[in-house]
Copies of this chain bind each other. A is one copy, B any other.
Amino acid sequence: MQEDRRLAVLRAIVEDYVATEEPVGSKALVERHGLNVSPATIRNDMAALEEEGYLAQPHTSAGRVPTDKGYRLFVDRLTTVKPMSAPERRAIAQFLDGAVDLDDVVHRSVRVLAQLTRQVAVVQYPTLSRSTVRHIELVALTPCRLLVVLILSTGRVEQRLVELDADLDEDELAALRSRVNLAATGQQIALAATALQDLVEGEQPAPPATVAVVETLVEAMSDHRSDERVAVGGTANLARYGDSFDTAVRPLLEALEEQVVLLRLLGEATSGGAVTVRIGTEGPFEQLSSTSVVATGYGPDDALASLGIVGPTRMDYPSTMAAVRAVARYVSRILDEGNQ
């Protein structure tokens, strides 16, 4: 019995604290929520919760504040997922539908996420590793300079310039083009790369042009630089931190500058529609001990890439999680459609 009430108290404290940004005391708690007990009772519960590490007191004789552990319990057990409202869903869908290409999808996702959650939004570009090769195009700019264009199923296009030692006439070019396409088109990118390697090795001695082109393609395919790209938006929402500039905003701004750091923050894409919540010190960075990350995967199997938001540990987890999930879902759908 009291156990149930204690959880209710924890939930109430989290909700109040998120709403008011101020430590919450026993009296305010009974008034605001329909707890039919006296403040003194609540005080006992709060003392117990503090004992167990779910709450903390900024100072003696101040109200209580949830700890990371408290938020964790809240997120794990006390959250009732509130689905997005119909108009919200429609707004998301409409806005994302307006996208004209992959870049645009990513940018729009960032915007819509930032707007919905009023936090800093982060969207990772679809990773190369999961996508398949849609087409390879070879364009002779001059007789001995070749533009190699790699078109992926996600809509991403990589291009590279290749300098050839010897000229290549139209027929040779066409032959080479059809050979690499035959080997790679439709394949997952890793498989395509090995298939292309085989192409060269199966034929000794391979013509230098073939070698050069294949080399470039393989390099483009395994170029993890592109894997590391992320889009960031909603930094203006940091203004709401206001207080705690040095402890919260500055390190976050620094983190946002570094793509690599951001990717580690987003973490591994979680599959199965689950939304990952990393609270405060659970994350990989010391300096970000008062920020949380709410993220999830998107794309087929939710494994294509990750998106999410970064915000203060003191955030409205239920609606943030709902927003992140909803956006991920719509993005997945749109990418899927564009793929037909």
Query: Interface residues, chain A, CB within 8 Å of chain B?
Result: 100-101, 134-135, 137, 139, 141, 147, 149, 151, 157, 159, 225, 233-236, 238-239, 242, 245-246, 249-250, 253-254, 256-257
Contact = CB atoms under 8 A, between A and B. Distances in A.
Nearest to A256: B235
Contacts of A135: 139, 141, 147
A245 B256 contact: no
A106 to B, nearest CB: 13
A268 B179 CA distance: 48
A149 to B, nearest CB: 6
A214 to B, nearest CB: 18
Given A137-B137, A236-B250, A238-B253, 12 more contacts: A135-B141, A137-B149, A151-B159, A157-B157, A157-B159, A235-B235, A235-B253, A235-B256, A236-B253, A239-B253, A239-B254, A242-B245
A159 B256 contact: no
B236 A256 contact: yes
Contacts of A242: 245-246
Copies held by the complex = 2
A340 B272 CA distance: 50
A141 B186 CA distance: 12
B134 A137 contact: no
Contact of A147 (B147, B151, B233): B151
Q: Which among A242, A250, A257 has the greatest number of chain B C-beta atoms within 10 A? A: A257
Given A149-B137, A157-B157, A257 B233 contact: yes
Contacts of A246: 239, 242
A329 to B, nearest CB: 24
A239 B235 contact: no
Contacts of A225: 100
Contacts of A234: 257
Contacts of A151: 139, 147, 159
Nearest to A259: B107
B236 A245 contact: no
Interface centre among A100, A236, A238, A256 (most CB of B within 10 A): A236
A56 B122 CA distance: 43
